Structure 1
């Protein structure tokens, strides 16, 4: 709750600048427009702070509206910067009349239109998940070629519920994987809301002969009961790995590491050199260590590939790999942009995805999937 109250306070400060920018072009009196802008951050906070007492339909409607407001506010605030620079230049020219009479109106209209365009494009991308395919060859003694469907950052909660988990199940099943891996942040943080709505029930139809496995992420930790979340997921066929190693397919070793947020000092274990070994964690924090420990494949999520442009300028510096596929020594690392989203389904950048990883025996004929 404190996190969202802090966001609301920051939002109140940002809307003052947005009002100053947009008041020049919107056909609304300045004071009513200011009042409207000041209400928006409060509407953002209400469903997150009072989700336990509000009817679910109101919570869901407000959270979806709030998510898109956040996206709109994000870019509107960014557009304040060039507007301020333009105002400074005109003031230095001694042409205050030019700003008041012409430039402020045109720039305000431009900024308002561009923000809505970005909102529309981001909403469209966010609602259209794609399938990204990664092919890997191995000389390990696996019985046969196999495929993995990897999804991360689902973020079930007040915004994304049962219908979204069912959509994920349909999309994953259409890929016909041998196993399914979930890379953490299965919930958005409010476990009780997810349990009341029974959003995990949408995973019940996931079909994977070798099983469905998951690790927890930082947002799962915010739910404050990882054991209960793992237990309920287990009822729907999802096995949570909490530092465990399993053998889903003969010749394949799968390790699910505790999230860095939960156990930052947990050591990186050595891989089974005889098996094709998969290292799964939520945050891509241990790519180099996993490569040094002999793992063949590292999968993770968390970054959302920035979700909003230009956030990848930050995530690209924070992690050895923030999105996509790259080899580190003999290990292939794959970081997903995630299937869901934090806040609204909104993306400016790589789209949400299911990653299908196809593992082939070296020098053997490729199976057709």
Structure 2
């Protein structure tokens, strides 16, 4: 009987995930280890952006066959095991390996040879499981709340009142520094500030609760942002190869934890840089070096692309025009109108950018330069 309504996407993904998990668990230990080794190699090539990857299917798998009641151990001929995806030409074409690999897996899974089809599915499964479970650091259990009710991504860490203010309670709460401790006393543990310990990976928190920088430089803060973006990119690649991995509990925990942290810290970096821009404008105005025009490049964090972007707008056209703070206010208000009507921004990104523009406006409304 045909289903009246299609199954929900989450139900289909759950079925795919559970089926692959059960198939993998049913394989002999030696086959599982082989799949894990091949999956690790493939995952590394995909994440590194290699143009090509060679891989091979296991020599045998347990699978079901037509007219056979019980699953059987089926051998895969040697000439059907060696496979590849991508080509060295892709380095010049800028073709991403994961797309070629996904196509290769789909073709193999559609093979009339049942053993080849099952082996390809198992190898795809081993690849994405390695990406999620072994290529990304484990983090803390966290809970975020949205800044406002209509925010699509919660990114404000909740304070459950259980976090100690100074004691080191877990390995993730401290960094072990080698070579700085006294002889015979092991490594020196340097704890993170309490606010950082509210995030998934405290070691990548660059800004505090009130926007203060916790690292030594903006370059270091940018490096932390890039590390978080890389983390999210690995998760994206895993889902692109096997959408059902989004059902995996560890995937969900890592995505939730890192997404909230990245948005929080990305916005904090943008706010910090805008305040730096305000200070530089005031300093240059005092020095009289802004009388030949002024064009601003305002950083903001795009929560759709998960990266810092730049909004460009002109404050004073080129020429011999004396700088007046009111010029900044006028230009900002004009830009606010444009941003509020620009449909390319998500609702939350638009609010974030308008907040940054408001910082600029207020800084020069009552400026006494």
| Same fold (TM > 0.5) | no
Greater fraction of residues in helix: 2
Choose between structure 1 and 2 for higher RCO, CA contacts under 8 A separated by at least 6 residues.
Answer: 1
- TM-score interval w.r.t. the shorter chain? under 0.3
**TM-score (normalised: structure 2):** 0.24
**TM-score (normalised: structure 1):** 0.24
